[in-house]
Amino acid sequence: MSTGTPENKNRATAAAILPLVGGADNVTSVAHCMTRLRLGLRDRSLVQDDALKAVPAVMGVVEDDTYQIVLGPGTVARVAPEFEALVEEDRSASAGAPTAEQLAAEGAALRAAQKARNATPFKLFLRRIANIFVPLIPALIGCGIIAGLNGLLVNLGWLPAVTPALASIASGFMALIAVFVGFNTAKEFGGTPILGGAVAAIIVFPGVAKIDAFGQTLSPGQGGVLGALGAAVLAVHVEKWCRRWVPESLDVLVTPTLTVLLSGLVTIFGLMFVAGEVSTAIGTGANWLLDHTGAFAGLVLGGFFLPLVMLGLHQALIPIHTTLIEQQGFTVLLPILAMAGAGQVGCAAAVFLRLKNNHSLRDTIKSALPAGVLGVGEPLIYGVSLPLGRPFVTACAGGAAGGAFVGLFSMLGDKVGSTAIGPSGWALFPLLQGSRGLGTTAAIYAGGLLVGYAVGFLATYSFGFTRTMLAELNAPAAGQAADPEQPGDPVAV
């Protein structure tokens, strides 16, 4: 079958992956985030890791509570539905009455999945939070870019008849983001999604401005996404309590009413105030941190972000970013964290130059580097720096240096922020916004990227390899002569 069209190409990728993860019978769940296809598997031993990594569209694999195949942004959103369709087709073709052995095996697999080695309560909680916010990222990106375009047109004085419409388009989603957070929260925690959205909608309803709580008049949106999250979690617990005690004949009337009423009252007279204080503290804390310890804070944030990405926990930062965007119009943390990707790019360039005879690794770098420049770091992490060990540490050093550079300017009053989350690297430029003009903001961000590239490169080139590592990794393949231009300068031991 030809793979000339995008649809056929995506289906071909899904078809190539399915047998390498043990076939449809070995797949228990299919989901995806921004870059990864996340699979629940019955038997991990059936997966052919090396063959999977050799599939052209696959940038790497990660084993966590689910088996994660890195495909990159855009691609994963198109391959995932094709993969699900293939799984269903295979199951339909082989459908029949399950045997006792099959049911027992399925039960054993489910029990094993619940006891996954790394499924700690903390990590499971963070993943749940990420699952609530990750589906919102496409809208945040789209509205953020429109907001940036509108700001540019307003500053230039162009198209004055159009800019109000663009402002409405860009702001509509953010004005109601609490409703979407409530909907996703209820869905994630096992409640009725629309009830979670209904309770969260109270937070953004203009009429709350007529209500006093804790001696203060409430304001629409007070508490933001954190209040919406708490309100929806409360609604789920109230709903589950009602399901246990309300007679079935009255459930359809009583349960939704009590859920919205009780959760709504607690939200108005408690959660909105508390969440509002927490949200304000987050904004104040982030500003204080960068105003007073900007360079050091940037160094720590930029230096330790790659390990968070490696563990898949970076998405737990999304509620903080979203809160800052709600309050200030941009998040000051994302541009600093994006410097971690710059260190990774510089590291990869140094590895490319140092290992001139390792053509396999150089091919990996050539294919993954463009994605790295655009802020997609997983291919370089899992395909280059992390397997090598030392280069991962030197890449973190590059991220720390870039973060310190951006943080230093925050101390000097030149804050750099992003109006949305998701993109990184050079893809973040359309979303930049700060305390000064766009030109200054973009220049500082670009300077941070260049510092990250340079330090990541120099640290890796100088300290990324021991002599033993360099000799082993740079040995020419059988029948292949060594590159005569391979440098012989000293390396760290």
Q: Which listed residue (33, 143, 242, 396) is catalytic?
A: 33
36 bridge partner residues:
70
| DSSP-derived pairing of the beta strands 36-41 and 60-63 | unpaired
- Reference 61, options 80, 48, 73, 74; nearest CA is 48
Separation CA 269–CA 375 (nearest Å): 42
Owner of token pair 């929806």: 232
Separation CA 315–CA 301 (nearest Å): 14
Q: Which two tokens stand for residue 193?
A: 């999604």
Separation CA 384–CA 238 (nearest Å): 49
Separation CA 4–CA 1 (nearest Å): 9
Stated as kind and residue range, the H or E segment containing 217 is strand 216-217
Collapse the DSSP code of 213 into the 3-class scheme (helix H, G, I; strand E, B; otherwise coil) and give the result. strand
Separation CA 429–CA 444 (nearest Å): 11
Separation CA 88–CA 30 (nearest Å): 11
Separation CA 459–CA 195 (nearest Å): 53
- Reference 231, options 211, 259, 210, 207; nearest CA is 259
Active site residue 33: yes
Residue numbers annotated as active site = 33
